[in-house]
């Protein structure tokens, strides 16, 4: 069965609908997700960052299995998360913090593997490339950055490099609101949208 999954910060829930019939299959009611705060993790479960009191010191990510509307796992990152994304295999999940940091966790163990300073303002978008080799991030600072997971995991290369990102695009004058990545791995086209009412390719 093919389904469409959507969340809303207004009505506080995640809906799951059958693509062919339009019938709602399941509703996860205990969710208040920010924009880009919902991710399908492999074929196993959903993950969603949660809107919290801005003064809160920690964040919250909730996890549901496809078959149950109850929360199965809760995790509490060290700061509030906005966007979350998972690679195709569901091996890793990444989250973007209000500080501009990006966090990367291993799904099987829940262990935080990496954390790095990506932007100087809050992260707003996170998208993996189709081959999972690249992570693309957008921010309230108006920049779009491309990160190689090979670089992120290679401690020696990280120490020798002046910066972690592969590319840094700074054409937007206001926050980045969405990012779409085409096919082709490192040769893919990236399209970004911004609150400055422009799209950049």
Q: In the structure encoding, which two tokens stand for residue 70, read together?
A: 């109850």
DSSP 156-184: HHHHH-S-SEEEEE---SS-EEEEEE-SS
Is 188 domain-assigned?
Answer: no
- Boundaries of domain holding 21: 3-170
Give the total number of structural domains in the chain. 1
Is 89 domain-assigned?
Answer: yes
Asked if residue 81 lies in contact with residue 96, where contact means CB atoms within 8 angstroms, the answer is yes
Identify the burial level of 60 via C-beta atoms within 10 angstroms of its C-beta, where 0-12 means exposed, 13-18 middle and 19 or more buried: middle
Is 106 domain-assigned?
Answer: yes
Q: What is the CATH number of the domain that holds 10?
A: 2.130.10.10
Count of alpha carbons within 13 Å of 5, Cβ hemisphere only?
22
Q: Is the pTM of this model over 0.85?
A: yes
Q: What is the DSSP letter of 115?
A: E
The model's confidence at residue 56, banded by pLDDT at 50, 70 and 90, is: low
pLDDT digits (tens, 9 = 90+) for 132-151: 999 999 999 999 999 999 98
Report the distance separating Cα 48 and Cα 30, nearest Å.
Answer: 10
Token pair 């080799």 in the structure block, residue: 133
Is 186 domain-assigned?
Answer: no
Is 177 domain-assigned?
Answer: no
Angstrom CA distances, 117 to 96, 157, 175, 186, stand at: 10, 16, 17, 22
Is 191 domain-assigned?
Answer: no
* Closest by CA position to 6, among listed 69, 42, 48: 48
Is 183 domain-assigned?
Answer: no
Distance separating the N- and C-terminal Cα atoms of the chain = 34
pLDDT digits (tens, 9 = 90+) for 60-110: 888 888 777 788 888 889 899 999 999 999 999 999 999 999 999 998 888
């Amino acid at each position: 069965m093919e389904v469409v999954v959507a969340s809303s910060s207004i009505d506080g829930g995640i809906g799951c609908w059958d693509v062919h019939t339009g019938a709602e299959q399941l509703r996860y009611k205990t969710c208040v997700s920010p924009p880009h705060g919902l991710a399908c993790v492999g074929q196993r479960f959903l993950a969603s960052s949660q809107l919290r009191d801005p003064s809160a010191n920690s964040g919250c990510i909730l996890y549901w299995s496809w078959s149950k509307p109850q929360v199965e796992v809760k995790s509490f990152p060290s700061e509030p998360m906005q966007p979350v994304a998972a690679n195709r295999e569901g091996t890793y999940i990444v989250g973007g913090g209000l500080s501009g940091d990006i966090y990367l966790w291993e799904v099987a163990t829940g262990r935080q593997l990496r954390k790095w300073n990506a932007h100087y303002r809050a992260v707003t978008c996170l998208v993996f490339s189709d081959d999972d080799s690249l992570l693309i991030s957008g921010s309230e600072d108006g920049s779009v950055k491309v990160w190689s997971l090979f670089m992120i995991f290679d401690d020696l290369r990280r120490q020798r490099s002046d910066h972690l990102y592969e590319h840094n695009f700074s054409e937007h004058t206001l926050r980045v609101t969405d990012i779409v990545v085409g096919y082709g791995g490192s040769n893919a086209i990236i399209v970004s949208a911004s609150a400055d009412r422009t799209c950049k390719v």
